Structure formats: C-alpha cells, structure tokens
Amino acid sequence: MALAFDVAGLTDYLHEIFPQVKDDFSIDAMDEQGLRMRLLTAERHLRPGGTVSGPSMFALADCAIYALILSRLGREALAVTTNCSLDFMRKPVAGADVIAEARLLKLGRVLAVADVLMYSEGLGEPVARASMTYSIPPKR
C-alpha cells in the first residue's frame, strides 16, 4: 500500500494535530513494512529509580501505531484506539530513549490492528510488547 506521507510530512502533521506530544516522540524511519518511533526520554517520563513509566510506554506504543495508520490513510483519516494489550517484560534502561518498532497487521474498512516491540536504545531484548486495535470511523 502506498504511503501517504514521508517522514518529514508525517512528523509535521503529527505536530499539527498533537502539539502536546511534540517533544516526546520522533519518527526514526518508516517504510512499507512498518514505522520506528522514539520516545525522547526525559525526566517527566520516569518513575523513581529512573525507569520509564508504564503510561509513557503506553503513549509511545499508541502514538507509533497511530502514526503508522495515518501513514497509510493520509490526512483526512480518523482512528480511535479501542483495545490495547501490553506486556511489560524487562526493566527499561534508566534514562535511555525507548525505540518502538510497529508493524501493521490489518487495515480493514472499520478496524485496524498493529503490534509493536519496544526496546531501550542499545539493548537487544525488548522491554515491552503491545498490540492495539483502532476503530476507523466512516469519512464524513
């Protein structure tokens, strides 16, 4: 399926519609297979001890998959998270960026499904896994 944006265009569009997460995430790469997003880990994402918080990991997975869906559907699209399953498997490296590798498993008329593996930068084993379903409302 053709991509509706390049990395710069999708980044601009996300900043436009979600200005509040502008400093949290950046898109590292994107192609026909998937999308790689980075959590720019800062003090506000951490729990005591320096671990990246659960809500920040959730936000990264959700944002990566949302961006992935937009990359196919383009500017007019809406997509609403309806279901999320998350496994927290390892303690993230204190202070390191977290990299999410998202892949699209289904892009249907009313539902999209994708999953994501999340890695502390420089660590070979994933720290978390998520799968999410989005409902795609009909175009107005």
The answer to whether 62 touches 81, Cβ cutoff 8 Å, is yes
100 sits in which H/E element: strand 98-107
Q: Return the ∠ at Cα 1 (arms to 11 and 125), rounded to 5°.
A: 65
Is the CB of 41 or the CB of 56 nearer to a copy of itself? 56
130 sits in which H/E element: strand 128-135
Among 4, 77, 86, 123, binds a copy of itself (CB under 8 A): 86
Residue 80 interacting with a copy of itself (CB under 8 A): yes
Is the CB of 6 or the CB of 83 nearer to a copy of itself? 83
* Binding range to a copy of itself, per CB under 8 A, among 3-11, 28-36, 68-76, 107-115: 107-115
Q: What share of the chain is helix, strand, coil (3-state, %, to 5)?
A: 25, 35, 35
- Binding-site ranges for a copy of itself (CB under 8 A): 17-18, 20, 47-48, 53-56, 58-59, 62, 80-90, 105-106, 108, 110-111, 113, 115, 117, 125-126, 129, 131, 133, 135
